[in-house]
Structure 1
Amino acid sequence: MTAAEYRPTGAAPAAPDEAALCQGWALDAHQLEVFFALSRPLAEGELHDFDWLPCSIRGRLRAEGREWTFEVNAAATSIWRSGDETRLLGCDRRECETYVLLMPERTRD
């Protein structure tokens, strides 16, 4: 797992406060496991219910007998990739607030 990476897009300049917030964000293996367990698969179009931040943590995991790479965005989404398969997950449960920097406007209990 990598430290949080701050990668602003060319459309928006780097913001020092945002960069510092990102550098202070970290998840250990146990926290990632809980975050993934609280997350749910997102159907086509549901990603728009979540914001996006130029801050993410990347790593590898083993699930369902397969190796996956993952990227967790600080705005409560993650992408898993293994071979040709890609899974998009989001966490809109209040319990996820502990693990991310920005939650979606609508959350579930």
Structure 2
Amino acid sequence: MLSGLLLSCSLASQPHEKDDVEVLEVDAPSYTGREGDSLREACSGWSLSKNDVKRFFQSSNSYRDSPYGEFYQVDCSITGRLRADGRVWDYEINGGGTARWKAEGEVRHWGCEASECRSLVLLPPDAMSGE
């Protein structure tokens, strides 16, 4: 019960229509891990289209703070730019299913546990359960 309460407290209620996202740019994946790590090859093969990025954010929950502890942190991410809420944001989607938007000193945090995101990330969060 307490964990459910904590989760609901960390979820944000930011004013944002998820359908109002226009993805402007999608960059190639960026790997920041150690040389020789097997993740490097997986990272280089990961790609998202503009539509994939939009689907990721449509399926994601927004959070007040980074949902770091609820998702794997992968040394691979895809960045780009999108338009939402009348502003242009820089976004970063981590291969573990977290993301953030940055614009004009504001940061918004996202995480996607939905089944729709399984094919969009390298290591879905449900993999943390060991199932």
TM range (shorter): 0.7 to 0.9
Q: Which runs of 5+ in 1 are unaligned?
A: none
Q: List alignment gaps of at least 5 residues for structure 2.
A: 1-25
Letter in 2 for 1:76: G
Measured against aligned partners, the alpha-carbon deviations of 1:16-52 in whole angstroms (never above 9, x if no partner) come to 4210000000000001000010001124463211110
Counterpart among 45, 70, 85 of residue 49 in structure 1: 70
Query: By percentage of residues, which structure has more helix?
Result: 2
In the other structure, the counterpart of 2:32 is: 7
Larger Rg: 2
1:97 equivalent in structure 2? 118
Query: What is residue 83 of structure 2 aligned with on the other side?
Result: 62
Question: Is the Cα–Cα contact under 8 Å of residues 64 and 108 in structure 2 kept in the other structure?
Answer: no
- Which TM-score applies when normalising by structure 1? 0.86
Percent of pairs with identical residues: 34
Q: Deviations over 1:54-77 (max 9, x none)?
A: 000010111111010000001001
**What number of residue pairs does the alignment pair up?**
103
RMSD after superposition: 1.7
1:20 and 2:45 are equivalent in the alignment? no
Normalised to the residue count of structure 2, the TM-score between the two structures is 0.73
